[in-house]
Structure 1
């Protein structure tokens, strides 16, 4: 079977460089790369001097960004990363807590902004890859777990050391992290304040692959391009059915699962995939979409 080729040079270049200043708004940079009929988006947290800690405006901007990307029919995959090479994200900006997070009303507003951002990442219909180099701590760790797949470089560190602050985890954040590493490991991270190594994160299932720092860009680009070149019917259905599978009450007779099944086995991508496999060539899939009501 013909495999997916190497990632385009434009994608590699975008991931090797820092985002341009004009692409940044409220500490979030957005770059969209049109690669033929496919668009790959790169979202960068851009406060390297503060280890890419996000303030309230940054969390709100993430929600806006992912809402717009989710509505773009050309987008196939999004990569989230941190600027500067030292951190993916160090969580929330503690310096603004006195003004923005003290008192129940202020905390509700701030916590709702974080939850909305994480839910925005989770709800887009295409895969989101976290490219992690350095620290993924607090809200940065939570943001990474909201993504579909996480790739990390050796030397990366993960943790939620909030016990020294006196804040609490929201339900959205707790579900995102505990859903990957289990409740006991989440409690350990909070209670101990420890930062897990990349190897420990890999063993827990927090990340899917750990590579040398010099290989992280190429590995991330390769995965993103593999997704972009794969059947969009398969890719989007995988995200949707995986989300449904978390509910033990869902069966194979669920309306969405039946609709996805019908689309796949009655659609053109399967025919093209079979023909390409038998001919020993790369498939050329259509721009088919999974049912719109099935956004996970």
Structure 2
């Protein structure tokens, strides 16, 4: 199977490398040609547009910023829809709007294309290792036909028909962001009440308060970099999509709304490129404390594939 990959950012770039390492002939495209340098070293070839990608491959994977970028990939002047879509699978890994994407793919389906959504969770270290949990929606036969490609990048978790992958990703990120915002308040409160941050972290893990965010992301607070591999601008994009989904379903969203406000505050204070966990730095600064803990805290982007 020949694979195309569109979008070589922090997560997508590493996912594409794992497809290449799995032995799939791979054609890549990105708005920044220089992003493909490492992929060329692994044997990738280049295409100048999404259309040029799909014309050469059996399956195309995309991972871009959000809904407008997905629309450009599919329906732009040189988008997928202008190429040979018949029988081709489009695996989109973008965090996007389920309502929007279910409508967007209709033209792709009309041309014989077979859409699969597979947004991912985890962090850049999971993308490097190739073990990202992936929320995969689509026709079962379509998913199974590209299972080896998906499993080269991560763990396949079926969630039902096309569009459900985006739903799963958004509610996943909803819980992630709410917990990230709450962690700052809990850590600072514990320190001011006399509990050392390192001890707090150790005793919280494995109990009722534990989560991926607590186990994985607190070291970025201890190290003081707050994980810039996932910047505030992406958090705010996701939270806007989550708010849209909550409004569409009519569900109460006071906790999510408060979290959204806290992330907007972090973006205003530290800039949109600041790391996601600066949402906790706000609480540190306002309380006049620091949560640094000496130690060899390995940054997510520095992990080994082994």
TM-score using structure 1 length: 0.28
Which of structures 1 and 2 has the larger relative contact order (alpha carbons within 8 angstroms, sep 6+)? 1
TM-score by length of 2: 0.28
Larger proportion of strand: 1
